[in-house]
Homo-oligomer: A and B are copies of this chain.
Amino acid sequence: MGRKKSIRLTRFEIEVMEVLWGLGNGSIREIHERLPEHKQVAYTTVQTVVRRLEEKGALRQIKKIGTAFIFEPVVTRKAAHLRLIDDLLELFGGSARPLMAHLAESGKLSLEDLREVEEILSEQQSNEGGGPRSKG
């Protein structure tokens, strides 16, 4: 098993990756075109960020079409999200409890949301044996 160190992505890097995760793979231009409106930057800005993402190992070139490289994610959306969450949790002392409490108090969590999570947990318990184990 490769113990990779889980890359930390910045906000904008996440947005770029988000587009790429959505596309499966794509060129700089495609990514640029599909960035959310609130994030309209120059083409070269995307280029730079993609280059940095490549250096970080978050994505890679898989082929070339014409003069353009096609990129593909290396880190999964899930892994990236997990990293974000872990980082946040760390600030909260490592426990998810206070995070949940905040979410609930601020009205960002519905009972319905809880139901769903509950379901996931139940499923997990019945699957115990192959899943992610807690480590200190």
Residue ID in chain B nearest A108 by CB atoms:
B96
Residue ID in chain B nearest A11 by CB atoms:
B91
Asked whether A131 is an interface residue with its Cβ less than 8 Å from the other chain, the reply is yes
A98/B81 in contact, CB under 8 A: yes
Q: Pick the interface stretch among A25-33, A52-60, A62-70, A110-118.
A: A110-118
B114/A118 in contact, CB under 8 A: yes
Asked whether A2 is an interface residue with its Cβ less than 8 Å from the other chain, the reply is no
Contacts of A42 in B (CB 8 A): none
Decide yes or no: A106 and B91 within 8 Å by CB, A97-B116, A117-B100, A117-B114 being known contacts.
no
A57 to B14, CA, bound (A): 28
Asked whether A78 is an interface residue with its Cβ less than 8 Å from the other chain, the reply is yes
Asked whether A105 is an interface residue with its Cβ less than 8 Å from the other chain, the reply is yes
- The residue from B88, B97, B110 contacting A88, defined by CB atoms under 8 A apart: B88
- Chain B nearest Cβ from A96, distance in angstroms: 5
What is the interface of chain A, defined by CB distance below 8 A to chain B?
11, 14, 78, 81-82, 84-85, 88-89, 91-92, 96-111, 113-114, 116-118, 120-121, 124, 131-134
| Listed A/B pairs (7) with beta-carbon separation below 8 Å | A88-B88, A100-B114, A101-B116, A104-B120, A105-B132, A111-B121, A114-B117
